[in-house]
Copies of this chain bind each other. A is one copy, B any other.
């Protein structure tokens, strides 16, 4: 049941978990089944869970002062998601997370997370790597936002995740790229003509 988590951790660590370690971890990850369009993390509400996406898709987003939605990140099979700020500080979340398909998650609460870090050094290492990678990715995303135009960002994105447009509505892809749906439509039209 928890095999995808195991594979994911072992791949990032480049190291295997023992049967005992895996068994302990499994106990701390509770499966959750959600329908499409279910929001399970809410801005301004406390969310002391860390989630692993076993199957399905999610998006993490904020709503700005003008009421506009901005996608911070998508989450597919094998992604770790949630509101880290709330998870660690115990204060209300700053992001929202919602499913984009029927989705199976594994959730670990903060108390178990602390146990896991203490009892299983490999998990603590794994998690450190996870946060570091997330941090670096977001720094590079800032850099690319400033150095590339929307067309280039779009091309990089579909190169990196060719199935993205098949799985999430185009207006959310636009919100991830930092542009309006109409602009993404225009960019796509221009690219078709170029060929």
Q: Are B178 and A84 in contact (CB under 8 A)?
A: no
CB distance from A160 to the nearest CB of B (A): 16
Q: Are A142 and B143 in contact (CB under 8 A)?
A: no
What's the interface size class on A, roughly? 20 to 34
- A62 in contact (CB, < 8 A): yes
Q: Are B145 and A142 in contact (CB under 8 A)?
A: yes
CB distance from A70 to the nearest CB of B (A): 5
Q: Are A139 and B68 in contact (CB under 8 A)?
A: no
Q: Are A70 and B143 in contact (CB under 8 A)?
A: yes
- A134 in contact (CB, < 8 A): yes
Q: Are A142 and B138 in contact (CB under 8 A)?
A: yes
- A141 in contact (CB, < 8 A): yes
